[in-house]
Structure 1
Amino acid sequence: MGRITDAIKHLIIVNVIFFVAGIAGYGGILYKYLALWFPENQNFGIWQLVSHMFLHDFSGFLHILFNMYALWAFGSPLERIWGRNKFLFFYFSAGIGAALVHTAANYYFFTQGFTEVVNIPAVGASGAVYGVLVAFAFMYPNAQLMMIFLPIPIKAKYFVPLIIVGDLFFGFSNANTGIAHFAHIGGALIGFIMMWYWKRNQFNQNRWDS
């Protein structure tokens, strides 16, 4: 993992600033304008496809802590290889893809009578981070990783698909976990598509650093 890279550092700083503002009493207005709302909700704005990535649950520290730790641990090696511009393009593409898949899934559940999705906003960098996890598994497939609740080393090429399968299970079962599982799936899916495309076409990194 090593030293934190520039893009990762700035992303973490912005997330922490918004988190501090939220716990300082501005959480309501931040959620109203920057969280990702269902398009049928009056609070919805197209910019929320990006802005939701900088908000986290203000009721505790675990949400932002896990996301920022994963962003640093798995994103820093990628930024060192790709450079800042390519990493940021990947990160925001995965985050926006996560928001779109989450919204599409909510539309489906809405048509099935689960109208409560209209008033449940989504926040967090988790979708983008899942894309980063997929990219890490592509680049370092044999890296040994461990789950907190299962302290057994697992290679990244098995670890990442395992946690995505968990999201698929809870997402399609519509379990009330308080987690946007389809955002995770969307970020992972976009991350996979981009990595597959870049690897297949031997993407030219110089394009991003010029």
Structure 2
Amino acid sequence: MTQFRPPSYNAIPPVVKNLIMLNVLMLVATWALKSFGIDLTEKLALYYPGSPHFQPYQFVTHMFMHGGFMHLFFNMFALYMFGRVLEMVWGPKRFLIFYFITGLGAAAFYTLVNYIELSSLRDSVAAFINTPSPELLSTFVKEHLKNASPWVYDLINNWMDAPNNPAYINQGTELVQRILEMKMNIPVVGASGAIFGVLLAFGMLFPNTQLMLLFPPIPIKAKYFVIGYGLIELFLGVRNPGSHVAHFAHLGGMIFGFILIKFWNRNSNSFY
């Protein structure tokens, strides 16, 4: 008779293990192919649909791309710590469905927010082109170009000394159009949207589980950790809309994770 042995808590279930392996392989491939002049990020990262680099498949492929080792490490560490518990509770199929829906939902939510921001930026560009002035350019740069190069401020100052100079008008127009193009061509990479969905799910399924923070090193219940993390992401997303960190993608992963769990749980008192 074969003796039954329950799975070890430290064991890595198949979906989490394969997701970690795939993400690691993609980062290694990105590094390796770059030496041959092949930029995987340009092909597989998620670009805004109005960008010339955009392809529909990027909504999936960007989830397996990362900006560097530390970006990959923290995402995969969270997937290992929290994802394996969810997979053991839900099973591989349901966990994989949850992972991809939250990742795709995060990308969709981020794209929507990006659309709203870029629509506002287009309106500002159109207003500048209609009535170009150094004062308007100064305001535009402060709002849309963080840490601008010194030559940008030299252009503004020189233009103020000669407000009717057509050369400065042309340079200012080219600059605002270049900023719009740059914003449209910012790539998004990482599994963070799905990872934040996993964090949300863990907080909902195991709300009173004690987690130990690293900074500061204090215990906190999972439900408070998730709520606090979500509020921080919302604050940072609103406070720093031009940030290179896709805060609204993180928030989108949590929102879609919450909706999906509520949908699964609509006729039951348990999540599994």
| TM-score, normalised by the number of residues in structure 2 | 0.71
Q: 1:38 aligns with which of 24, 48, 62?
A: 48
Aligned twin of 2:262: 196
Aligned residues: CA RMSD:
1.8
Structure 1 residues 141 and 111: alpha-carbon distance in aligned structure 2, compared to 1, 3 A threshold: same
Give the Å deviation of 1:142: 0.8
Aligned 8 A contact 1:106 1:117 in 2: no
Q: Tell me how far apart the structure 2 counterparts of residues 175 and 98 of structure 1 sit (CA, whole Å).
A: 16
Q: Give 1:83-102 correspondences, 5 Å limit.
A: 83-102=91-110
Aligned 8 A contact 2:103 2:194 in 1: yes
Q: Give 1:116-195 correspondences, 5 Å limit.
A: 116-195=182-261
Q: SS state of the match for residue 145, structure 1?
A: strand
Give the stretch that moved more between structures: 101-110 or 144-153. 144-153
Q: Give 1:45-124 correspondences, 5 Å limit.
A: 45-58=55-68, 61-113=69-121, 115=180, 116-124=182-190
The C-alpha deviation readout for 1:135-191, integer Å capped at 9, x for no partner, is 101111111123332221110111011011111001012255421000001000000
Give the stretch that moved more between structures: 25-34 or 142-151. 25-34
Q: In structure 2, give the amino acid aligned to 1:12.
A: I
Q: SS state of the match for residue 150, structure 1?
A: coil
Instruction: Report which of the two structures shows the higher radius of gyration computed on alpha carbons.
Output: 2
Q: Tell me how far apart the structure 2 counterparts of residues 92 and 9 of structure 1 sit (CA, whole Å).
A: 15
Give the Å deviation of 1:101: 0.5
Q: Tell me how far apart the structure 1 counterparts of residues 40 and 214 of structure 2 sit (CA, whole Å).
A: 31
Aligned 8 A contact 2:265 2:271 in 1: no
Q: In structure 1, give the amino acid aligned to 2:95.
A: F
Give the stretch that moved more between structures: 45-54 or 193-202. 193-202
Q: Does 1:3 align with 2:11?
A: yes
Structure 1 residues 153 and 50: alpha-carbon distance in aligned structure 2, compared to 1, 3 A threshold: same
Query: Which ranges of structure 2 fall in alignment gaps of 5 or more residues?
Result: 1-8, 122-143, 145-179
How many pairs were matched up?
203
Q: In structure 2, give the amino acid aligned to 1:78.
A: L
Query: Which ranges of structure 1 fall in alignment gaps of 5 or more residues?
Result: 206-210
Structure 1 residues 144 and 177: alpha-carbon distance in aligned structure 2, compared to 1, 3 A threshold: farther
Q: Tell me how far apart the structure 2 counterparts of residues 120 and 201 of structure 1 sit (CA, whole Å).
A: 42
Aligned twin of 1:19: 27
- % identical aligned pairs: 46
| TM-score, normalised by the number of residues in structure 1 | 0.91
Aligned 8 A contact 2:106 2:251 in 1: yes
Give the Å deviation of 1:204: 9.2
Q: Tell me how far apart the structure 2 counterparts of residues 148 and 204 of structure 1 sit (CA, whole Å).
A: 29
Give the stretch that moved more between structures: 171-180 or 95-104. 171-180
Runs of 4+ in 1 over 6 A off after TM superposition: none
Q: SS state of the match for residue 3, structure 1?
A: coil
Give the Å deviation of 1:198: 1.5
